[in-house]
């Protein structure tokens, strides 16, 4: 497989430097101050504690559908200020083909908040 300018290669060490964990959505509400429709969320990462995030998941989910669910997030990126919200983690999702809609990545099986993805 060859790479294109849009898909540069990344050293394995760079990928493994990311701390990707399972989190449980505790709170989710609309974020009217966002430039694009988004939710403000509070997530539980077990021993790592609770973290806040802003995520563009409004095309596929209501807040009620996300509360209580497990998601996958990067927890060791620097926080980003998004309007009045300090987003402390990056919730991962897949852009659905041909759209800007995001399908959240969710772990399968008996995962718990804080479990590491690898």
| Alpha-helical segments (H) within 4-90 | 12-16, 63-66
Mean pLDDT of the 53-78 span: 96
Are the C-beta atoms of 53 and 87 separated by less than 8 Å? yes
pTM: 0.88
- Domain spans of the chain, in order of start: 17-109
DSSP class of 91: E
> What is the band of 3 on the pLDDT scale with cuts at 50, 70, 90?
low
DSSP run (H or E) holding 12: helix 12-16
CATH of region 17-109: 2.40.50.140
Give the count of beta carbons closer than 10 Å to the beta carbon of residue 57: 24
As a whole number of angstroms, the distance between CA 114 and CA 91 comes to 13
Mean pLDDT of the 21-46 span: 92
- Tokens representing 81 are 């200020």
């Amino acid at each position: 497989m060859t790479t294109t300018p849009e898909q540069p290669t990344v050293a394995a060490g760079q990928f493994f430097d990311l701390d990707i964990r399972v989190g449980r959505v505790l709170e989710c509400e609309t974020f009217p101050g966002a430039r694009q429709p988004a939710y403000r969320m509070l997530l539980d990462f077990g021993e790592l504690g609770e973290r806040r995030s802003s995520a563009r998941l409004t095309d596929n989910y209501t807040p009620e559908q996300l509360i209580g669910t497990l998601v996958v997030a990067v927890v060791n990126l620097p926080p980003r200020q998004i309007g009045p919200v300090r987003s402390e983690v990056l919730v991962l999702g897949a852009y659905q083909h041909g759209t800007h809609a995001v399908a959240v990545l969710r772990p399968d099986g008996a995962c718990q908040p804080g479990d590491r993805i690898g």
